[in-house]
A and B are shown apart, each in its own frame.
Chain A
């Protein structure tokens, strides 16, 4: 009797030790990955304060300097224009990022609402077209769209325009027409998980379609709205090929064109290069941290059950 008990105890202990071991291995693995994810960023931060070559694995600067940062925030100028700071380039970037994000978030919401919540003939065709364009590589549209935007009819609208936002029209015009299939798809998938009873109750009380969208669905949709807006922001802010193709005068250059222009030379040290680059990534990181409470957990339910 006593012997049996001890065997059981031993096996429980063995099990416990094994589980601890597995936990330990998992934890070690995940910490290693986290290190690979974050250390390069930390090292870059250190390098932006280091005078001269950062020739060590450690991220702590050997000779401390703030020259790079002063320069990045004051006025390095770029190309033929001097006296502009990186903040000017950042504001150029925002001139196409903001309209793209603000308009696209809502124009695609309306399309998704129509498809998910209204009955009409041809719905299946519309949905099929959206799915088809979801998988179409952007490359195939790029050349003909450039031909379109540089045509005699379209080019006066944006090329050399002195109005705000307009020099970047080709980069955000699509938002007016809800052309982002991925946002529409995500909204539709999310709306499918919301019971229609909510809408029905509101309709019985005499609500209109828009009242239902605004008062009934919007509060429930908040996480997915923020997710879509954040994804649009990341895609637009980090876009490189678009601004490269539709670039105008040098002073209208956004960050993604200015940063590669400012390389290392006799006056630009490593500290300069690194501090500038960090200026270039700061905004996405700040916005991610602001939105992540809604974002990370909820992309989960947003989309991919189908």
Chain B
């Protein structure tokens, strides 16, 4: 283009560049730096190399044990929440993508819980739903089952926070819905002529065609669920016996309640590395199961 100002893009990117350094790059490095110190008094600290990390993997250390426990709680949460969200949202999106009456109403009603997201009010209401007299137990009684002490057992408490996450499958569903619309109708027609059943069509056409979006949704949900905080903190308070004290809750306690930024940073770094390992592994594996049509 004639007279295009070469400097314009750079000028426009200055705020972003500053923001990248202040809010991303610097804290990223500083977090690692902090993780290698140890507070010796309120005003002094000492460089200790990887001692904080060593502590976290030492089962005899109080925080080592707590950390391992939080990793376990987080793993259980992620292992159930991510696949459940993906399966439920994909199935619902599949049904909604076909001709069905009242699509608009259903799409809206499936999205409302997601709009409320990690809203504190909703989380508090969720706790009431699972109280001993709450809606859940009323419902169980109605169909002839005995009420459950949801917050009294590790499995019950974990179920309540996983259920909250699955209840909010809306945005994952919307993204699947968009992808399903791009699957060419001709593929289904050809399969119908060949006599393939609906279930077979779903497995052989639908799923392979949208694997890039399954990859996208899977990675986004994985990164997000590893960092869950509001639900466990307000619904179960990490209990019972720390069964739902996920890693982000432990980091909050250590760093912001006990003011131990150094140990907290070490925990954050391990969480970061775990998430990275999983993300890279999923992307690496994607060449075997993700199908790109173009």
A131-150 near B? 1/0 per residue, CB < 8 Å: 00101111111111111100
- How many A-B residue contacts, CB cutoff 8 Å? 246
Q: Look across to chain B and name the residue whose beta carbon is closest to the beta carbon of A175.
A: B19
The answer, yes or no, to whether B152 is at the interface (CB within 8 Å) is no
Whole-angstrom CA separation of A64 from B275 in the bound complex: 50
Whole-angstrom CA separation of A255 from B119 in the bound complex: 10
Q: Which of A130-185 contact B (CB under 8 A)?
A: 133, 135-148, 174, 176-179
Given the known interface contacts A141-B27, A174-B19, the answer about A260 and B108 at a Cβ–Cβ threshold of 8 Å is no
The answer, yes or no, to whether A43 is at the interface (CB within 8 Å) is yes
Interface size classification for chain B: 35 or more
Q: Look across to chain A and name the residue whose beta carbon is closest to the beta carbon of B96.
A: A30
A15-35 near B? 1/0 per residue, CB < 8 Å: 000000011001101100110
Tell me how far the C-beta of B133 lies from the nearest C-beta in chain A, rounded to whole angstroms: 5
Whole-angstrom CA separation of A276 from B121 in the bound complex: 8
Tell whether, in the assembled complex, residue B20 and residue A129 are in contact, meaning their CB atoms are under 8 Å apart: yes
Tell whether, in the assembled complex, residue B229 and residue A240 are in contact, meaning their CB atoms are under 8 Å apart: yes
Name the B residues within 8 Å of A47 (CB-CB).
Answer: 128
Among candidates A113, A143, A300, residue contacting B255 with C-beta atoms closer than 8 Å: A143
Name the A residues within 8 Å of B4 (CB-CB).
Answer: 119
Tell whether, in the assembled complex, residue B15 and residue A144 are in contact, meaning their CB atoms are under 8 Å apart: no
Name the A residues within 8 Å of B233 (CB-CB).
Answer: 240
Contacts A126-B16, A146-B261, A209-B8 known; list 15 others, CB within 8 Å. A37-B110, A38-B112, A47-B128, A57-B138, A119-B4, A129-B20, A135-B219, A136-B272, A139-B268, A141-B23, A147-B34, A148-B26, A256-B120, A284-B116, A284-B119
Question: Could you list 22 A-B pairs, sorted by A, with CB under 8 Å?
Answer: A39-B135, A53-B133, A114-B9, A118-B9, A135-B223, A137-B223, A137-B226, A139-B272, A140-B31, A140-B268, A147-B30, A147-B34, A147-B261, A234-B117, A238-B117, A240-B120, A281-B116, A284-B119, A285-B112, A296-B108, A304-B179, A304-B213
Name the A residues within 8 Å of B287 (CB-CB).
Answer: none
Tell me how far the C-beta of A29 lies from the nearest C-beta in chain B, rounded to whole angstroms: 7
Q: Look across to chain B and name the residue whose beta carbon is closest to the beta carbon of A289.
A: B108
Name the A residues within 8 Å of B148 (CB-CB).
Answer: none
Name the A residues within 8 Å of B284 (CB-CB).
Answer: none
The answer, yes or no, to whether B48 is at the interface (CB within 8 Å) is no
Tell whether, in the assembled complex, residue B19 and residue A284 are in contact, meaning their CB atoms are under 8 Å apart: no
Tell whether, in the assembled complex, residue A26 and residue B31 are in contact, meaning their CB atoms are under 8 Å apart: no
Q: Look across to chain A and name the residue whose beta carbon is closest to the beta carbon of B133.
A: A55
* Interface of B (DSSP majority class): helix
Given the known interface contacts A27-B100, A241-B252, A284-B116, the answer about A299 and B31 at a Cβ–Cβ threshold of 8 Å is no
The answer, yes or no, to whether A85 is at the interface (CB within 8 Å) is no
The answer, yes or no, to whether B211 is at the interface (CB within 8 Å) is no
Tell whether, in the assembled complex, residue B19 and residue A179 are in contact, meaning their CB atoms are under 8 Å apart: yes
Tell whether, in the assembled complex, residue B125 and residue A143 are in contact, meaning their CB atoms are under 8 Å apart: no
Per the CB 8 Å criterion, the residue count for chain A at the interface is 89
Name the B residues within 8 Å of A177 (CB-CB).
Answer: 15-16, 18-20, 22-23
Given the known interface contacts A38-B109, A40-B125, A299-B178, the answer about A133 and B15 at a Cβ–Cβ threshold of 8 Å is no
Q: Which of A275-289 contact B (CB under 8 A)?
A: 276-281, 284-285, 288
Among candidates A111, A140, A237, A299, residue contacting B119 with C-beta atoms closer than 8 Å: A237
Tell me how far the C-beta of A261 lies from the nearest C-beta in chain B, rounded to whole angstroms: 10
Q: Which of B237-261 contact A (CB under 8 A)?
A: 248, 251-252, 255-256, 261
Tell whether, in the assembled complex, residue B227 and residue A260 are in contact, meaning their CB atoms are under 8 Å apart: no
Whole-angstrom CA separation of A178 from B14 in the bound complex: 10
Tell whether, in the assembled complex, residue B12 and residue A114 are in contact, meaning their CB atoms are under 8 Å apart: yes
Name the B residues within 8 Å of A279 (CB-CB).
Answer: 121
Whole-angstrom CA separation of A55 from B198 in the bound complex: 43
Whole-angstrom CA separation of A140 from B35 in the bound complex: 11
